[in-house]
Chain A
Amino acid sequence: MSESVLNSNDRTFKYSATNGIQHEEPLLFEHAHEAPESIHLPGVEGDIPDALAVFSRKIPANIPGLSEPETVRHFVRLSQWNHGIETGFYPLGSCTMKYNPRVNETVARLPGLAHIHPDQPEDTVQGALELLYEVQEWLGEISGLPHVTLQPAAGAHGELAGLMMIRACLDARGEAERRTVLVPDSAHGTNPASAALCGMHTVELKSGADGRIDLDVLKANLNDGTAALMMTNPNTAGAFETDIKEICQLVHDAGGLVYGDGANLNALVGLARPGDMGIDCLHINVHKTFATPHGGGGPGAGPVAVNDTLAAFLPVPRIVKESDNYRLDSTSDASIGSILSTIGQSGVYMRANAYISAFGRQSLHKIAEDAVLNANYILHRLKDVYHVPFEGVCKHECLLTDEIQNKHGVKTLDIAKRLIDLGFHPMTVYFPLIVHGAMLIEPTETESRETLDSFCDAMLEIAAQCEAGNTDALHEAPVKPFRRRLDETQAARKPVLVWPQ
């Protein structure tokens, strides 16, 4: 390589952008040739019994079947059309897209953990139960709510489990008329949906001018029908609910319980505990705070941690330890029962256990410290050119809006799509609903200062383009990825969800 190349002041790599080699790839149903000889499989050869043959499938399912090299190439090409956390920055607010350590994948695939059946004898799965029990106890310690169920399969499922417990607790107190769940207007949509599924109804609390719960609004809505307040802390605007102690006290005094949506636990882990603040029940998004991969939408896990008030109502089975022996216990009169047909998303918890093990007692708080540091750093660098709806420090995510760019006809969606051309996954857009044109940015703790700076530079460049009236590129963005803006209206008007035969 020549000296001049080495010394060149080439700024091509300012942003990674998206100029990779990408292949068009048909649907596998469109691959032209007939399915090759099928994969060689083990097992017992022979004819099926006559009694079963009566029910033989008459028309084949028409699953195409490709050879192994074609299958690999097909899915590898598809993978190359995706942006993942391993590919680049992924600052989706409220989603905690942090690096997913590779060793967690390795250990979760050990044969004694991946290839075991949930109903094989308990004395043959002691190692798996031990790891699950350990993570169960750790989650209790981290949340300050010592009794934990690992059964809920995702955050929303945890919400349902938690509300079922709250309802059961109120019923046991003889207060079956308490069926109202108070939900701030900044809440995740799963909160009201979970309440409805639990046979309760929601009353929406209008947030105060600072984006936080307004104590007067809360007081005005507390009454004999109040079952619970569902709150997220830090809230979805990225702000800590500083009145948390008084909020919990007010709800408890009114006879209700406090449900914590733990989606934002990444801001607090190792530094402060929801249980200490008065929260009775908290679900934890393991796929957020504890770095298990999101997998393009799942799987997740939504364990629920509760205090003594709710412990008797936890779902069954529970993982219990007796001397050095672990077992699943399904005996509980007060339990809300089972909410999943297996013990839970065990493989997800194996990864979470490995993740927590890597930090340990000494370092767990560094997760929250760096996550909050990074979010505030971004906020600081962008606050002069983007509108900041709520003053003050943020926690693990910062909230901006498109108010300033609106004057140039540029909306949040345009900014988001332009970020794609510059090599970044957009932030969460149009959520929370309490501000117009929301942009919720959550960098997480696993991003370097270099990445944070390049993202901020990109955001500043977009703002500068707006100011310069150079907005066409923003409206047309993205132009670089494999596909440009997609027609969601057509998709919804004439839904095509399967490829025709």
Chain B
Amino acid sequence: MTIPANLKYTKDHEWVRIDGDIATFGITDHAQEALGDIVFVELPDIDRELEAGEAYAVVESVKAVSDVYSPVAGAVVEVNEELEGEPEKVNTDAFGGGWIAKVKISGDATVELMTDDEYNTFLEE
């Protein structure tokens, strides 16, 4: 399993990519593998204000369901509507086409974020 170096990671197995004031969220390859075949992603409403650590989406497999938490604070500006028809993208391309939402960051609040190396160590523990 590759863990991209240009992303930050949370203990709940989410990733975040920050480009300026826009943050893109998804779940990690490890998370999708643990969940199994993803059958549905419940996406947040556009403009929804999120606090850091707030549950903003739900990822479902056949027999399991998992909340997804926002690593940073901000307002939802875009969601990955392709997941509505092809939730399996979370399985096949967790760090790319399986992204879930984009947020315009407001404030400095974040949950504890890890680098790729730190996340790798976290997984090994």
Contacts and interface: CB of A to CB of B under 8 A. Distances in A.
A contacting B, Cβ–Cβ less than 8 Å = yes
A501 interface: no
A492 B87 CA distance: 11
A430 B37 CA distance: 18
Contacts, number: 15
A323 interface: no
Nearest to A430: B63
Interface residues of A, number: 5
B72 interface: no
B39 interface: yes
Given A488-B62, A493-B39, A493-B40, 11 more contacts: A430-B63, A489-B37, A489-B39, A489-B61, A489-B62, A492-B40, A492-B60, A492-B62, A493-B37, A493-B87, A493-B88
Contacts of B40: 492-493
Interface residues of B, number: 9
Interface string B12-40: 00000000000000000000000001011
Contacts of A430: 63
Interface in A446-499: 488-489, 492-493
6 contacts: A488-B62, A489-B39, A489-B61, A489-B62, A492-B40, A492-B62
Contacts of B88: 493
Contacts of A492: 39-40, 60, 62
A493 B90 CA distance: 13
B60 to A, nearest CB: 8
Contacts of B61: 489
Contacts of A489: 37, 39, 61-62
Interface string A98-140: 0000000000000000000000000000000000000000000
A430 B63 CA distance: 11
A54 B106 CA distance: 58
A492 B59 CA distance: 13
A438 to B, nearest CB: 13
Contacts of A493: 37, 39-40, 87-88
Interface string A412-452: 00000000000000000010000000000000000000000
B34 to A, nearest CB: 14
Nearest to B87: A493
A59 to B, nearest CB: 29
A51 B73 CA distance: 59
A162 to B, nearest CB: 27
Contacts of B39: 489, 492-493
A488 B40 CA distance: 13
A493 B62 CA distance: 9
A192 to B, nearest CB: 14
Contacts of A488: 62
Nearest to B62: A488
B97 to A, nearest CB: 16
A401 B6 CA distance: 42
Nearest to B88: A493
A430 B60 CA distance: 18
Taking each of B39, B60, B88, which has the highest tally of chain A beta carbons within 10 Å of its own beta carbon? Answer: B39
A489 B61 CA distance: 8
Contacts of B37: 489, 493
A489 B40 CA distance: 10
A75 B95 CA distance: 49
